[in-house]
Homo-oligomer: A and B are copies of this chain.
Amino acid sequence: VRSLAASRVVVIGLGLMGGSLAGALRGRCRTVVGVARRSETVDLARGRGLIDRGTTDVRSAVANADIVVFATPVRIILRQLPEVGPLLPDGCLVLDLGSTKAQILEAMAALPPHVEPLGGHPMCGRELSGIEAADVSLYRERTFILSPLERTSAEAIERGRELVAAVGASPLLLDAARQDRLVATLSHLPYLLACSLVRTADATTSPDPAAWEIVAGGYRDTSRVAGSDVTMMLDILVTNRDAVLAAASVFRDKLDELTRLLAAEDEPALRDLLVASRTERRRMFP
């Protein structure tokens, strides 16, 4: 097994996440090869210096890879894993960057026994997308969740940790179900809220030209992630559906509780909940 510095790394999918990871790894491994569906994307990645080499042909790219990173949307990963798995060399580390892990780990469990699968989820989404938005500092000081399978060797986990550290992130080992439940509340629910808020404004205030002059910081921040890539987010929502719906249901109860108290002008109870929210927010982000 090779060290990261001696490894040939292949990144499949050169969007924001894959392009940024490739660029951050370049110079820290033997080669970084980028794979994209469109040759224009490959050219852009090469032009920006994010990869050593690039191709649209997965088969040739992975033939002698030490590490393959799947950086496509979740359901593309689910389709690619069984296609690409049999092509991989012995001992190849198979990592992914998908935001939901249960279904991906299921697909990874079906990979041929000669490869080493390891689920990954870096916590560094942006509302931008595409290779144009790639940024080699994207992973710096971020948490990078690693979800091993039972079959994943300690040595493969160690290689995963090394890769995570090389891009400036901190590894956090979590099993798939726990990670999916956590990100449902902390990442996927905020996306649904942002979209619903934008649609609320669209239905109520947007027809008023003054709305555009007063969109305040609160709205701007609360709606930010509504700008996220739709194909990526749709895959996330569908593959984490139950956990997302459960989080949304708790949210609905919490919002209803606030509006009920406001409607009833029960100020002491309303104040208690607002104070609790403020305290909790400040505890999370001191």
Hey, which bits of chain A sit against chain B, CB under 8 A? 123-127, 143, 145, 170, 172, 174, 178-179, 181-183, 185-187, 189-206, 208, 210-228, 230, 233-234, 237-238, 241, 244-252, 254-256, 258-259, 262-263, 265, 267, 270-271, 273-278, 280-282, 284-285
A210 interface neighbour in B174, B213, B221, Cβ under 8 Å: B174
Interchain CB contact under 8 A, B274 and A234? yes
CA distance A284 to B249 in the complex (A): 28
With contact pairs A219-B190, A226-B278, A275-B230 given, residues A267 and B252 touching in the complex (Cβ less than 8 Å):
no
B196 lies within 8 A of A258 (CB): yes
Taken together, the copies of this chain in the complex come to 2
Smallest beta-carbon distance A233→chain B, Å: 6
Q: Are B203 and A187 in contact (CB under 8 A)?
A: no
* A176 → chain B closest CB, angstroms: 13
Q: Bound complex: CA of A36 vs CA of B191, how far in Å?
A: 41
Contact: A203 with B277, CB < 8 Å?
no
Query: Given the complex of chains A and B, what is the CA–CA distance between A123 and B219 in angstroms?
Result: 11
Known contacts: A220-B285, A245-B262. The answer to whether A182 contacts B205 by CB under 8 A is yes
A124–B270 alpha-carbon span in the complex (Å): 24
Alpha-carbon distance A194/B195, docked complex (angstroms): 14
Contacts of A245 in B (CB 8 A): 259, 262-263
Q: How far is the CB of A95 from chain B (nearest CB, A)?
A: 18
Known: A224-B221, A280-B206. A182 touches B214 (CB 8 A): yes
| Chain B nearest Cβ from A128, distance in angstroms | 11
Q: Which residues of B contact A216 (CB under 8 A)?
A: 123-125, 183, 186-187, 190
Q: Indicate if the CB atoms of A248 and B238 lie closer than 8 Å.
A: no
| With known contacts A214-B123, A216-B187, A251–B197 Cβ distance under 8 A | yes
Min Cβ gap A145→B in Å is: 7
Extra 13 A-B pairs, beta carbons < 8 Å, given A125-B216, A200-B247, A226-B278? A124-B217, A172-B210, A186-B211, A195-B277, A199-B254, A200-B251, A222-B224, A223-B281, A228-B278, A241-B263, A245-B263, A248-B259, A252-B252
